[in-house]
C-alpha cells in the first residue's frame, strides 16, 4: 500500500490545537519548546489558549499550523518506527510542511520561513483591499467564466464542486451573483484578511524569495507535490521559485491528489489540525484509506488502523 502524507493549510487553525498532544507526550512538549526558542515568542501558548484573534493572524496561524502538523508527524513516527511513506503534499502553507517532512528543510527552517511568509502576506493584505468566496456546485470551466466576467481569479481548486475565488473586495459580490447565475448551489463570501493566491499578494513574493534564498534547500527524500503544477517538485534549485509562484497562483489540490492516485497511492494520512483534506479526498476518490492525526484520539485511531 503506497502512503502519502498530507499537511493542513491556513484556515485549519483552532484555539486549543496541539494542547492535548503536549499534555500527553514529552516529544510534543519538546517540539513546542524548540518552536518557541526558534521564533523568540510563545507560539505554543497562542495555539493552546488564543485568543482566537491572535491565532488567526496570518503570521501566527501559519507557523502554528506548521508546528502542530510537525508534532503530529513526529508522534506518529515515534509510535510507528517503521512507518514508511512514498510522497507528501500540503495545501498552501502545508506545502512547506510537506517539504520539511521530505527533508528539504529542517523543522526550525520551515517554522521560521512560514512565520516570515505569514508576515509578508499580512503586509500584502494591508496594502490592498481583497476578498475571497467559496463556490459550491460549480465546475472549473464555469468558474473561469465567472472570473473572466467579474475580474477575479481562481484561488483554490479543492475538489469536485468546491472552488475558491479571490480578488479585489468590491468585485467579490458581483462574482458571487454571477456564480449563482451559472448554477452554483452556494456562493459564500469568506471572512479573510485579503485575496490570497491572487495577484494582490504580489508584494509578498520578492520578500519570500529573499527568505528562501537564505535556506540551503536539500534534495527531497520522497516526491513532494507542488501546488502550482500539481506535479512533483524537481531539484533544490526548482523548489523556491514554485513556492514564490504559489503566493499569487491557484492551489491545484484536486489535480495534485489525482497525480498521487494515478501513481497508485491508496493510503492518505492527514497531519495537523482539522480534517479538511480528508473531506476533499472523499469528494475526489472514495475507495482509499483516509487517516488523520490532529489530537490524542485521532493519533490512537490511526495507530490502530496502521497496526491491524
We report the CATH number of the domain holding residue 142 as 3.30.70.250
* Shared domain check, 180 and 46: no
* Shared domain check, 263 and 168: no
190, 217, 242: which is the final residue of a domain?
Answer: 190
Q: What is the pLDDT of residue 55?
A: 95
* Shared domain check, 43 and 173: no
* Shared domain check, 170 and 86: no
* Shared domain check, 59 and 46: yes
The residue segments making up the domain with residue 18 are: 2-126+199-306
Q: Could you tell me which residues come within 8 angstroms of residue 192 by beta carbon, excluding any fewer than 6 positions away? A: 131, 132
* Shared domain check, 26 and 172: no
Which residue out of 69, 74, 166, 197 is catalytically annotated? 197
Q: Is 116 a catalytic residue?
A: no
Select from 188, 153, 160, 157 the least CA-distant residue to 173.
Answer: 188
Q: Is 258 a catalytic residue?
A: no
* Shared domain check, 179 and 206: no
Regions of the chain short of the pLDDT cut 70: none
156, 171, 190: which is the final residue of a domain?
Answer: 190
* Shared domain check, 135 and 47: no
Q: Could you tell me which residues come within 8 angstroms of residue 98 by beta carbon, excluding any fewer than 6 positions away? A: 5, 6, 7, 88, 89, 90, 224, 225
Distance of CA 217 to the CA centre of its chain: 20
Q: What is the pLDDT of residue 307?
A: 85
* Shared domain check, 231 and 295: yes
The domain spanning residue 206 has which CATH number?
A: 3.40.366.10
pLDDT tens digits for range 12-54: 999 999 999 999 999 999 999 999 999 999 999 999 999 999 9
Which residue out of 69, 74, 92, 116 is catalytically annotated? 92
Q: What is the pLDDT of residue 82?
A: 87
* Shared domain check, 137 and 119: no
* Shared domain check, 55 and 115: yes
* Shared domain check, 219 and 112: yes
Question: What's the number of domains the chain is made of?
Answer: 2
Q: What is the pLDDT of residue 182?
A: 95
Amino acid at each position: 500500500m503506497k502512503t502519502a502524507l498530507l499537511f493542513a493549510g491556513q484556515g485549519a487553525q483552532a484555539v486549543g490545537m496541539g494542547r492535548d498532544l503536549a499534555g500527553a507526550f514529552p516529544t510534543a512538549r519538546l517540539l513546542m519548546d524548540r518552536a518557541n526558542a526558534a521564533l523568540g515568542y510563545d507560539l505554543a501558548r497562542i495555539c493552546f489558549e488564543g485568543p482566537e484573534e491572535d491565532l488567526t493572524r496570518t503570521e501566527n496561524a501559519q507557523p502554528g499550523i506548521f508546528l502542530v502538523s510537525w508534532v503530529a508527524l513526529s508522534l506518529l513516527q515515534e509510535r510507528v518506527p517503521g512507518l514508511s511513506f512514498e510522497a507528501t503534499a500540503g495545501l498552501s502553507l502545508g506545502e512547506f510542511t510537506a517539504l520539511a517532512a521530505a527533508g528539504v528543510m529542517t523543522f526550525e527552517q520551515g517554522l521560521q520561513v512560514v512565520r516570515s511568509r505569514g508576515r509578508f502576506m499580512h503586509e500584502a493584505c494591508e496594502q490592498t483591499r481583497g476578498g475571497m468566496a467559496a463556490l459550491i456546485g460549480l465546475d472549473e470551466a464555469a468558474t473561469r467564466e465567472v472570473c473572466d466576467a467579474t475580474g477575479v481569479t481562481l484561488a483554490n481548486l479543492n475538489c469536485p464542486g468546491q472552488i475558491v475565488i479571490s480578488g479585489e473586495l468590491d468585485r467579490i459580490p458581483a462574482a458571487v451573483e454571477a456564480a449563482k447565475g451559472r448554477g452554483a448551489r452556494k456562493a459564500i463570501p469568506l471572512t479573510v484578511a485579503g485575496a490570497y493566491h491572487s495577484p494582490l499578494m504580489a508584494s509578498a513574493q520578492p520578500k519570500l524569495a529573499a527568505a528562501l534564498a537564505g535556506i540551503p534547500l536539500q534534495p527531497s527524500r520522497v516526491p513532494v507535490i507542488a501546488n502550482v503544477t500539481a506535479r512533483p517538485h524537481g531539484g533544490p534549485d526548482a523548489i523556491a521559485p514554485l513556492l514564490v509562484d504559489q503566493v499569487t497562483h491557484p492551489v491545484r489540490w484536486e489535480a495534485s491528489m489525482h497525480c498521487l492516485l494515478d501513481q497508485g497511492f491508496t493510503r492518505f494520512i492527514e497531519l495537523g489540525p482539522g480534517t479538511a483534506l480528508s473531506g476533499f479526498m472523499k469528494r475526489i476518490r472514495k475507495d482509499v484509506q483516509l487517516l488523520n492525526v490532529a489530537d490524542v484520539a485521532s493519533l490512537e485511531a490511526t495507530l490502530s488502523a496502521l497496526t491491524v
